[in-house]
Every structure is written in structure tokens, then in C-alpha cells.
Amino acid sequence: MGNFLQVYTLLFYILSSVNSNYLTEGLRNIQKRSIETTVEDIEIHSININSKVISHFAHNVITSRAVNRANISKEVFFNVDLPKSAFITKFSMIIDGVIYAGNINKKGAVIVSGKVDLLVRIGSTNEDMFTVTVNLPSQSEVTFELVYEDLLKRELDKFQMSIRVWQKTLPKNFQIKVDIYEPQGIRFLDARASFIKNDMLTAMKKSFSGKKGYVSFKHTTDQQCICADHSSTLLYDDFIVTYDINRESPGNIQIVNGYFVQFFAPIKLTGIPKIIIYVIDIGWAMNYNSKIKKNLLSMLKDTTEYDYINFILFHHFTEAWKDSFVKATPKNIEEAKNLIRSIHFHGDTSIHDPLLMAVELLNKAHLSKEVPERSVSIINLFTDNRNEHLPGRIQKNVKKAIQGKYTLNCLYFNNVFDYPFFEKLALENSGVAQRSHLWPHAQLQMGNFLTEKATLTLLDIEMHYPENATADLTQSKFRHYLEGDEIVVAGRLIDNDLNSFIVDVKAEGADKSLKYTENVTLQEKYGVQTQQEYNFGDFTERLWAYLTIQQLLKKWIYAGLSERANLTAKALKLSLTYNFVTPLTLMIVTMPAKTLLLEKLSAGYNYQYFSPVKSWVDSDPDFVINVPHKKDAVCFNIKDEPGVVLNLIKDQELGIAVNAELIGNKKTDNNVISNETYFGRLGIVNREKSLKIEVTTQMITILNGDNTEMFTWGDITSVSKEGFNLAISKKKNVTVSFGEGAKFVIILHEVWKDHPLHRDFLGFYTLDDHKFSGGVHGLLGQFFHGIDYEIFEVHKSDKTEKPDATMLVKNKLLTVTRDTQKDYREDPHNGSKVPCWFVHSNGEGLIDGSKKDYIVPDIFSID
Ligand SMILES: *[C@@H]1O[C@H](CO)[C@@H](O)[C@H](O)[C@H]1NC(C)=O
Ligand SMILES: *[C@@H]1O[C@H](CO)[C@@H](O)[C@H](O)[C@H]1NC(C)=O
Ligand SMILES: *[C@@H]1O[C@H](CO)[C@@H](O)[C@H](O)[C@H]1NC(C)=O
Ligand SMILES: *[C@@H]1O[C@H](CO)[C@@H](O)[C@H](O)[C@H]1NC(C)=O
Ligand SMILES: *[C@@H]1O[C@H](CO)[C@@H](O)[C@H](O)[C@H]1NC(C)=O
Ligand SMILES: *[C@@H]1O[C@H](CO)[C@@H](O)[C@H](O)[C@H]1NC(C)=O
Ligand SMILES: *[C@@H]1O[C@H](CO)[C@@H](O)[C@H](O)[C@H]1NC(C)=O
């Protein structure tokens, strides 16, 4: 059993701003291992968090040292939660004085074969958890060091850096140290943490003066304990540092060694009215109503009287609240609230028409001048489904209709795969996409929507840098600027003889166009004006690379295929040059007989479902194995010739076996060759009870010794014998059980009698399998006692919409694909979708042996 060395959550609250919203979410289903803590064995000596922040680019070093005091080896975990936008740059371990350092490689280039003893993954973007596990020998000592970099974002006039501390074991020495250097000077600095009790305030120090700020927190076990109860979580809270800088001019430029970064943040401008149309899908499941309504109501609170609002509710109809926009006066807001309260959510619908209607309403409002000319128009879509068979049609038509004039934000309430669709839709229309989960414990995060934030003060910001002085610029045109935010642009200086250059910033303000000009002198082009102690490499260059990679990855989302290849190549090159673990790279730590992979997931895919069924096989034939502890499933497909009989379950000890025979499609005259096979005949044998059951698409036959009982699928009947039950549900299913703990259901798929190709076929589902012995085998049976796997390296595949990933299962690494299969128990026609990790090549690597090993002579074989 492992010992929780530590769990940190370092969350620099990433506040979305319009210019760089790379919103992805994680693979929530990747479950953290459940860890039993035996505190005494692993002694955590120290944990140090050391942050150096220069021009709000943070370089963080986390070091932790532990000793195994047990007389046997123990697993030690090192877990860190990273900010979503952070890139890891370094990781190393020192075990008994030997250093093992990670190397960054191109993803896919390194083939890791054989047994993987040590696995590190960084990912699940929402919970960017970094995890390393080491099996530490008795009396050995390990030191972990993790370094990552992140740009702090400014929102509502401050930068916020939040370090969440959650740990089970109190280290002997625990220290947080944050050094800040801001060339423009620090305006204020604050730090707090509620785990710090009054009598411990002395443990925290904070100060700032001029360009420097300093925060520290130090705790040793000699000091009074933070929490009385040693057995429970000792520290669980955020350690938050907030600060802001002085701004004499709106566009400060920092230059170090040929790279510049401009931080642009004009202040005290008049707000620009917002014209907001909320497009609300009311096709939601009833149980989430209150959650969604509550959030809609709170969004309305953030509008001002200068703003204009309207609503479109859609279901199988599309209806606007008002024909034209109304001012967000208290009276209208109240009316809008009543509208929201009265919404009755139901069924499915498509977002296509409602979005076009929203664009039309905005067009009309602008054309008829019912809304101010200087304003920003926003469409906020709330939906749980695109419900459109041609997603490309929506994207194309919406983009065409909006013509770059309006911002489309998408809030997607769901847990399945459509999120990339909404992300693309929003990004293409200068908006942001966000996903909220619907399950009970999920927090709705709606705080990142443009409309909810501070006052919008500038539109269409264009930063112009002379072409003869600069190159390789990051994004320099921005749609919106919110009061209290900051726009960041970085680039390279061309090595020429210029002594100065002019930066022009053009933007639209509330009542006029604005222009800012900055004369940048280049005498410090090669002179570093930063202090040595703060200088982690050339921060402007690293910040430039960091921003460029983030923006390339964001562009990738809505780029075409050929463009994607270019974006990937560029981002990869930068990631390797600057040592960033990005979605395109992988960090590998090589140890004797051990390989450690370190990665950042490119995009998360999220879903959740619960199904009481354990495993099944249906259709042509697709095998699905539920993995309840992961709230996920694995699946595979077995292809073979019609007539082949496959063993699904075989338990010699219990004397039970289930076999199934493949049938093909009907032969056709017009040369249609189809390789599809299905199960047409199933045999269930119980040796102890001298019982054989044959289920075909026509008949159900029970052979009990010399007795034969025959039924058709049209019957409604049940047969009960000692320790055996069979029930036929007319035209639907046959349930078979052998006492407690062995229960199956067989589904009949009827196709139209004169179907030119298809025949009727069967599906087989295990409802209960806990009676089976440890020796149970077969294509389904071998999974009855559970299976464990790890998923990592999830990456988008260029070939399909479905992402690929690497699965670590049975000590093998397999490439798997995210897929969906169907559970047809409820609805034999349409089925209900079940996401799963698909293992290719007839389940090779997942199943023991190969498919050949499961071919049996007949449907009653049990040898
Ligand atoms: C390890 O320690 C346990 C109890 O602390 C003791 O029972 C056991 O004999 C020890 N084993 C060895 C190999 O020293
Ligand atoms: C650089 O370009 C600017 C206009 O963009 C021009 O005014 C200036 O003369 C150019 N400087 C040099 C050295 O070519
Ligand atoms: C910019 O500043 C430099 C140095 O102070 C000066 O020589 C140059 O004339 C200025 N340029 C403009 C356009 O004001
Ligand atoms: C990709 O890069 C190549 C070479 O740099 C260039 O010729 C091509 O036009 C680029 N394609 C796209 C779609 O940007
Ligand atoms: C059927 O299988 C053969 C051989 O495996 C393959 O060449 C052919 O493309 C398949 N046909 C279809 C329609 O899948
Ligand atoms: C069998 O079909 C009936 C009728 O549709 C349904 O009520 C029952 O739940 C099904 N049994 C199982 C085990 O799925
Ligand atoms: C299956 O789907 C079709 C169309 O998608 C629908 O008309 C039908 O009602 C569905 N069947 C059931 C049983 O829900």
C-alpha cells in the first residue's frame, strides 16, 4: 500500500480573457488511485514551494524529500495539481544520491516497450494533476523536484496566484516562498491562507517595496500544529497571493536579449454597452433545471443599465423573448428573471436555427439602430447537445452569418464528446467555450463568460509593431479589452541598427477611436535590466515561446487539416527548444528497468455514465467490458467467418459455459459483399444440472437430461427449476439465471423481414457474475473479476474525430481509440450510447492469447 507523500494543488486562478482562452477540460474519469495512508512508514522531511515571478511570469520549483522508515520497500507518491495553463519544464528525482532527470521528447517518437514500472502523467486539464509513484526501498531517501512555468493573468485589477495545500501527512518542514519582481513597481501585495490561525501569523511574512515583493510561509513540526486532528487532512486550503503593479503608461515593454514583451492595460475608460442575446436550449433533463436557472439568473445580475438583452428559447420550436432588444433596466431584468424561472425544460433540439435567429435579431437591431452603434454584440449559447447530424453545417452557416461581427460564447452542459465541437464553434467566432458538468457534485463554472466580467472598455485592439524592427509576433489583434485585464504581446527584435521604434495601438473606445503610441528605445536591447537573482533564463524569450505555443495550440482547434500539420510542427519545435511539456511532447525519465512517462494531455474528454450491466457482446459482435471503479469501459470487436463458434464464458469449476455462433449477412445478387457478422445462435451449458439452452433468433430450446422444452420468441413464459430460471419476454429478451450471482439476458434484434442484407441477431449481457470462480475464462468471463488499466497520452487523431490514447493494461502498452458502443437492453433498435476505450485488432493485448484461442467446436462446448 502506498503512502501519500503529499498532494498539492497549485492553482493560479486562470481568469479568462478574450485573447487567450484555451479552454479544455480533462479526463475526469482517470481516477486517482485510492491510497491508504500509513503515516509512520514514510517520513516526509520537507516540502518547499519556491516561486519566482518576474513581470508576472512565474517560475515555480517544488521540492519534496521523503525517507522510507519501514523495513520493507514502500510506494511513495508525489502529486501536484498544476494550473491549466502551466507548462512543466523540468522534473527530476534523486534516490539515495543518484539523480534521475527527465528528458523532453516528441510524443510518439519514443517507443516504450516492455514493462512500465513507473508511470507519470500530467493531464486532465481541469485537474492538471501531476503524479509520480516510486517504490522506495527500506531506509532510502527520495527527493522530487518539479519545475513549471506559467503566466499569471490579470483580472479585475489584480494578479492572483493561488497555491492550494492539501496534505495528509504534515512534513517536518514546510515552506512557501514567493519572490516577485515587477519592473513597473508593485502597487499592492497581499497574501492570505485560512489555514493560518491567528497565533501562527508570525509564520507568514509579506512585504513589498518598489519593484520587489516577497511572501513566505514557514512551518515546522516544532511549531504549534495547524490542525488538532492528526489523522485527518492537515492543511486544506488555498494560499493566495494577490498583487498589482503601477501603470504609468498603458503599454509597458520589457526587452531582454533580443525578445520583447508588451503588457498593455489602459485604465479608467468608459464602458461600452453590451448587446447580449442568450440562446437557451430548454431541451435539458429536468434534474438540472435549478442549477442552470440559478446560473442564468446570476449572469443577469452582471449586466448594467447600458446593456441590452434578449433571449431565444429553443426546443422543437425557436422563440425569441422580445422582437427587439430591451435595455437591461431593473424592470426588464425582473421580467427576464421571471422568464428564466418559468422555463420548462424538455426534449432534444438542434442549435442551428436558434443561432441563426440570434444573428438575425442582432442584425436587425443594428440596422434599425435600436441599439447603440458603439457596442459589442454577444451571443451566449446554453446547450447540452448540438443535435445536428451535420455539425459542419452549423459551423459553416453560423460563421457565415456572424461574419466576424459578433462574439459567440458557448456554454456546454454535458459530459460527452461534443465539447470540441463547441470549442471550435466559439473560437471561430471570437468567443470562448466552456463546459459544465451536470452530475450532482459538479460545480457550474460560468465565471469565464465575457458578459459576466468587468466593464468592457475597448474593442478591436490592434497593436502595430514596425516590420523592420520586429518579427515572430504573438497575437497582436484582440477583439475585446476588459477593464482590469491586461493584453500581452511578445516578439523578437530584428537585429538591425535601429535605436528606437514606435508601437502604435489602435482601438475603439466607448465614444471614439483611440490611439496609443509608445516610443521604445533599444539601448537595453542586450542589457538585462533584471536582477540576477530573479532571472530564470531570459524570461522575455521564454514568455514569447510560452505564448506562441499556447496560441498555436488554440488555433489548432479550428484549423484545417493541412494547416494543423504546420501548427503542430511549429509548436513542437518550440516545445522541444524551450523544454516545455506541452500536449505535443513527453517527458521521459529513464531509470534502471524503469521508464517514466510525463505528459500533458492535449484535450480532455469527459463523460460519465452508470450502468449496472457488467459486460456484454452485441452487434457485429462488439464486446464491452464495464470497469466500474473507473466509471468507464473498454471494448473490442472480434471478426471471423460465419459459422465460427466463440467461447464467451467458461467456468470449469462451476460447470457453466456460454458459446455463440457467428452468422453473416444475407447473400445478395447484386454483388454486395459484406463482412459483417453477428451472433445468430447462443448455447448455455450447465454441466452440473445436465442443462443445455439453445437460443436462436427463432427459438429457445431447453434440453434438460432427456427432456426438451421449446419456446418461440413470441412467448411470454418463465421456467423455474432448482437453481435455474429462464424467462421469455415476448419479442424482447430471455433472462437466464443460475441462482444468485449468475444472471444473463439475451436480446433479440429483429430486422425488417425483407431486409435485403440483414438478418435477425442476438445480443448477450451479463447482469450478475459474482458467483463465478477465480478460474472463469472466455471472451467475457476473463473480465468477471475486474480489470485495471491506465490511460495516458490522449491525443487527437488526424484521421477521425475520435482521440487515440495509450493504454497500459496487463503490463502492455496498447494504442486505443475513444469510441462508443451501445447497450441495447432498453431499446433494441436505437440502443443507448456507452463510451469506451476501443482496443484494436480483435482485442489483442487486452484479451488473453488471441481470438483463435476462443474458437470452440460447438455451442455446447465446455472443455
Ligand atoms: C519489519 O518490521 C516489522 C514490525 O515493525 C517486524 O514484524 C518484521 O519482523 C520486520 N521485518 C524484518 C525483515 O525486519
Ligand atoms: C522602418 O519602417 C518605418 C515604417 O514602418 C520607417 O518609417 C522607418 O524609416 C524604417 N526604418 C528603417 C531603418 O528602415
Ligand atoms: C523616440 O525616442 C528616441 C530616443 O529617446 C528619439 O531619438 C526618437 O526621436 C523618438 N522617436 C519619436 C518618433 O519620437
Ligand atoms: C504549411 O507550411 C508550408 C511550408 O512552410 C507552406 O508552404 C504551406 O502553405 C503551409 N500550409 C498552410 C495551410 O498554412
Ligand atoms: C471483407 O474482408 C476482406 C478480407 O478480410 C477485405 O479485403 C474486404 O475489404 C472486406 N470487405 C468489406 C466490405 O469490409
Ligand atoms: C426484458 O424486456 C422487458 C420488456 O421490454 C423489460 O421490461 C425487461 O426489463 C427486460 N429485461 C432485462 C433484464 O433487460
Ligand atoms: C429510435 O430513433 C428513431 C429516430 O431516431 C425514433 O423515431 C424512434 O422513436 C426511436 N425508437 C425508440 C424505441 O425510442
What would the DSSP string read from start to end of 816-842? EEEEEEEE-SS-TTT-EEEEEEEEHHH
- Give residue 138 CA to ligand 1 midpoint distance, Å: 11
Q: Does the pLDDT at position 600 exceed 70?
A: no
Q: Which residue has the cell 464486446?
A: 623
Is the same domain home to 233 and 382?
A: no
- Is the distance from CB of 587 to CB of 102 less than 8 angstroms? yes
Banded pLDDT at 609 (limits 50, 70, 90): very low
Predicted local confidence at residue 285, as pLDDT: 47
Residue 555 falls inside a structural domain: no
Predicted local confidence at residue 558, as pLDDT: 84
Is the same domain home to 37 and 99?
A: yes
**Domain boundary residue among 449, 477, 509?**
449
Residue 509 falls inside a structural domain: no
Three-state secondary structure of 364-377: HHHHCCCCCCCCEE
State how far the alpha carbon of 493 is from the alpha carbons of 254, 256, 348, 499, 576, in Å. 12, 10, 54, 12, 22
Average pLDDT, the chain: 79
Residue 165 falls inside a structural domain: yes
Is the same domain home to 132 and 110?
A: yes
Atom 7, ligand 3: which residue's CA is nearest? 500
- Is the distance from CB of 257 to CB of 538 less than 8 angstroms? yes
674: Cβ below 6 Å to ligand 5? yes
Please give the number of the atom of ligand 4 that sits closest to the Cα of 560. 13
Q: Which three cell numbers stand for residue 782?
A: 476473463
Is the same domain home to 685 and 813?
A: yes
Q: Does the pLDDT at position 629 exceed 70?
A: no
**Selection from 744, 746, 828 nearest residue 784 by Cα:** 744
> What percent of the chain clears pLDDT 70, i.e. is strictly above it?
76
Residue 763 falls inside a structural domain: yes
With a CB cutoff of 8 Å and minimum separation 6, the contacts of 589 are 91, 92, 93, 100, 101, 102, 103, 118, 120, 595, 596, 598
Residue 663 falls inside a structural domain: yes
Low-confidence winner among 7-11, 357-361, 668-672 (lowest mean pLDDT) = 7-11
DSSP assignment of 94-150 equals EETTEEEEEEEEETTTS---S------EEE-GGGEEEEEEEEEPTT-EEEEEEEEEE
Structural domain for 41, as ranges: 6-176+220-245+583-600
- Is 391 strand, coil or helix? helix
Predicted local confidence at residue 673, as pLDDT: 64
Is the same domain home to 434 and 315?
A: yes
- Give residue 760 CA to ligand 6 midpoint distance, Å: 18
Q: What is the mean pLDDT of residues 535-555?
A: 88
**Domain boundary residue among 551, 575, 600?**
600
Given ligand 4 and candidates 556, 558, 562, which is best to mutate, with the most ligand atoms within 8 Å of its CB?
Answer: 562
Is the same domain home to 595 and 618?
A: no
Predicted local confidence at residue 612, as pLDDT: 56
Please give the number of the atom of ligand 6 that sits closest to the Cα of 825. 14
How many other C-beta atoms can be found within 10 angstroms of the C-beta atom of residue 826?
Answer: 9
Q: Does the pLDDT at position 381 exceed 80?
A: yes
- Is the distance from CB of 586 to CB of 110 less than 8 angstroms? yes
Banded pLDDT at 860 (limits 50, 70, 90): very high
Residue 224 falls inside a structural domain: yes
Q: Does the pLDDT at position 751 exceed 90?
A: no
Banded pLDDT at 111 (limits 50, 70, 90): very low
Atom 13, ligand 2: which residue's CA is nearest? 498
Atom 10, ligand 6: which residue's CA is nearest? 733
Predicted local confidence at residue 201, as pLDDT: 58
Higher-confidence residue of 459 and 435: namely: 459
**Domain boundary residue among 449, 465, 497?**
449
Torsion of CA 699, 704, 706, 712, to 10 degrees: -20
pLDDT tens-digit series, residues 184-212: 899 999 998 766 666 565 688 999 999 99
Residue 308 falls inside a structural domain: yes
**Selection from 309, 439, 321 nearest residue 380 by Cα:** 309
CATH number of the CATH domain containing 437: 3.40.50.410
Three-state secondary structure of 431-459: CCEEEECCCCCCCCCCCCCHHHCCCEEEE
Predicted local confidence at residue 286, as pLDDT: 41
Low-confidence winner among 15-29, 283-297, 328-342, 383-397 (lowest mean pLDDT) = 15-29
With a CB cutoff of 8 Å and minimum separation 6, the contacts of 120 are 91, 130, 131, 132, 587, 589, 596, 597, 598, 599
519: Cβ below 6 Å to ligand 3? yes
> What percent of the chain clears pLDDT 90, i.e. is strictly above it?
36
Torsion of CA 604, 606, 612, 616, to 10 degrees: -50
Is the same domain home to 143 and 123?
A: yes
Predicted local confidence at residue 228, as pLDDT: 40
- Give residue 831 CA to ligand 7 midpoint distance, Å: 9
Q: Does the pLDDT at position 419 exceed 80?
A: no
Low-confidence winner among 222-236, 278-292, 369-383, 659-673 (lowest mean pLDDT) = 222-236
Q: Does the pLDDT at position 845 exceed 50?
A: yes
pLDDT tens-digit series, residues 42-77: 888 888 999 999 999 999 999 999 898 888 877 777
CA of 568, nearest ligand number: 4
- Give residue 478 CA to ligand 2 midpoint distance, Å: 25
**386-395 contacts, C-beta under 8 A, 24 or more apart:** 386/350, 386/351, 386/418, 386/421, 386/422, 387/283, 387/348, 387/349, 387/350, 387/351, 388/350, 388/351, 388/352, 391/421, 393/352, 394/350, 394/351, 394/352, 394/355, 394/425, 395/421, 395/424, 395/425, 395/428
Q: Which three cell numbers stand for residue 803?
A: 482521440
Banded pLDDT at 667 (limits 50, 70, 90): confident
Atom 7, ligand 2: which residue's CA is nearest? 466
Q: Which three cell numbers stand for residue 107?
A: 510524443
Single pTM value for the model: 0.66
561: Cβ below 6 Å to ligand 5? no
* DSSP bridge partners of 790: 808
Residue 688 falls inside a structural domain: yes
Is the same domain home to 234 and 288?
A: no
Is the same domain home to 167 and 283?
A: no
CA of 522, nearest ligand number: 3
- Is the distance from CB of 5 to CB of 146 less than 8 angstroms? no
Is the same domain home to 292 and 229?
A: no
210: Cβ below 6 Å to ligand 2? no
- Give residue 505 CA to ligand 3 midpoint distance, Å: 17
Q: What is the mean pLDDT of residues 240-245?
A: 94
225: Cβ below 6 Å to ligand 3? no
CA–CA separation, 275 and 376 (whole Å): 6
The count of domains in the chain is 3
Predicted local confidence at residue 706, as pLDDT: 86
* DSSP bridge partners of 118: none
Q: What is the mean pLDDT of residues 793-809?
A: 75
Is the same domain home to 686 and 765?
A: yes
Q: What is the mean pLDDT of residues 610-639?
A: 84
Is the same domain home to 751 and 830?
A: yes
- Give residue 596 CA to ligand 4 midpoint distance, Å: 35
745: Cβ below 6 Å to ligand 6? yes
Q: Does the pLDDT at position 137 exceed 60?
A: yes
* CA end-to-end distance (rounded Å), the chain: 39
Predicted local confidence at residue 828, as pLDDT: 84
Predicted local confidence at residue 573, as pLDDT: 94
Which phi-psi region, left, alpha or beta, contains residue 747 (left: φ > 0; alpha: ψ -120 to 50)? Answer: beta
pLDDT tens-digit series, residues 511-527: 999 999 988 887 654 44
Given ligand 7 and candidates 830, 832, 833, which is best to mutate, with the most ligand atoms within 8 Å of its CB?
Answer: 830
Banded pLDDT at 167 (limits 50, 70, 90): low
